[in-house]
Amino acid sequence: MDLLEYQAKELFREMDIPVLPSQKIHCPQDLKGLKIPYPIVLKSQVRAGGRGKAGGIRFATNTIDAIAAAQAIFHLPIQGELPEILLAEAKYNASQEFYLAILLDRTARRPVLLGSPYGGVEVAFTQDKMQRVVVDEEFSPFYARRLALKMGLSGEAIEAVSRVIKRMYRLFVQKDLDLVEINPLGIRDNGEVMALDGKVTVNNEALNRHYNLTRLLQERNFEQPDQSSVFPTHDFVEFEGKLAILCNGAGLTMATFDLVCEAKGKPANFLNLGSEQAWYGTHADPLERLRLGLDAVTRSPQVSVVLVNLIAGVTRCQDIAATLVEFSDGLDHPCKWIVRLVGGDLVTAEKTLKQANLTTVKSLDEAVSLAVKAV
């Protein structure tokens, strides 16, 4: 599952990978309180690629222009995804832009370092442009320097880029990630480097070992509920199928929905419950919000299968499981339940669900496969 750019850069900061001063923008009016000096760049925070070519990245030299640009970006879907947050960053003039990545080669079962001296929007992934170094033994600075040399770097650039590669690798290993990518890595004539864009792909199966990654995946700009609607319209979307999807967090919801569609499933709806910490002290605590969400996705009698994919934080998995069982028992039409939970007290929760004949699974792929087949 991909993190948003601003989330990836939070991890970069933890590893001392250089990133620009930035500020999250939840609505255009936030720009009136901007703490970053102009000129700035505004970036749509969606997981889709090609943001620049789609118009999701714009420059501004003053507040009026920035507000106008933000209004346009907030209303611009990129591959069907609307941003909930924009990232405002200081503009950076680089002398050269590189591409760097670390990924897991599942065939070789080894990490691979990738690099190209041609980064940015027009990065070329052809064999002659993209350099590759397989980490076939315990990682050492040798691997980072080897990639820098294969990229054709010289002088101070070798050490500057190698330093970034070493920190990327430390992040990759410590967080059990599938991908760490910087595109582009900007470099100036004085040897200064800057991660101008970043992408991080989280290994879903390792989330139980990384609480901070779970929190990042749950983050979103969540509006307070009003009396007219419990869920914002972009969080609850209805279709014509029979499979209901209930998740928490925009990234988790869209990843689940995309996998269902790729498996030729036909959703009846999908609902993002949002981050649980945003709901303490409001009209509904997380469990009450879960009940409201369950009611929303099962309200239509055409729903025959409910796919629940939740990452628990403060709320225990056992409390979620008990709520699911209670709700399913009181539902007025039969449904097949496929449940995947991640979080504390999972073993007890799974026993509770199995006793009530609700199917539990460990992986998202298995959850999607079973749900699509059950329709």
Q: What is the pLDDT of residues 21-78, one digit of tens each?
A: 999 999 999 999 999 999 999 999 998 888 988 999 999 999 999 999 999 999 999 8
Question: What class is the 236-374 domain?
Answer: alpha beta
pLDDT tens readout for residues 159-177: 999 999 999 999 999 999 9
The residues spanned by each domain of the chain are 21-90, 96-202, 236-374
b/e per residue, 210-219, with b = 16+ CB within 10 A?
A: beebbebbbb
User: Which amino acid is located at 359 in the chain?
Assistant: T
CB count in 10 Å sphere of residue 198: 24
Residue-averaged pLDDT of the chain: 88
Kind plus residue range of the DSSP H or E element containing 220 = none
pTM of the predicted model as reported, rounded to 2 decimal places: 0.61
Of 249, 199, 309, 207, the closest CA to residue 84 belongs to 249
- State the distance between the two ends of the chain, measured CA to CA, in whole angstroms: 25
Superfamily for 21-90? Answer: ATP-grasp fold, A domain (3.30.1490.20)
Q: ∠ at Cα 277 (271, 283), nearest 5°?
A: 75
Determine if the peptide bond prior to 301 is cis (ω within 30°): no
Handedness of CA 348, 352, 354, 360 (dihedral sign): negative
Give the three-state DSSP class for 227: coil
Whether 21-90 and 96-202 share one fold: the answer is no
pLDDT at 281: 38
Of 269, 322, 257, 265, the closest CA to residue 295 belongs to 269
Q: Cβ distance 277 to 219 under 8 Å? A: no
At 317, the pLDDT band (50, 70, 90 cuts) reads: very high
- Write the secondary structure of 5-35 as one string of H (helix), E (strand) and C (coil): HHHHHHHHHHCCCCCCCEEEECCHHHHHHCC
Q: How far apart are CA 133 and CA 103, in angstroms?
A: 11
Superfamily for 96-202? Answer: ATP-grasp fold, B domain (3.30.470.20)
- Alpha-carbon distance values, 289 to 246, 286, 311, 345, 364 (Å): 12, 5, 14, 20, 22
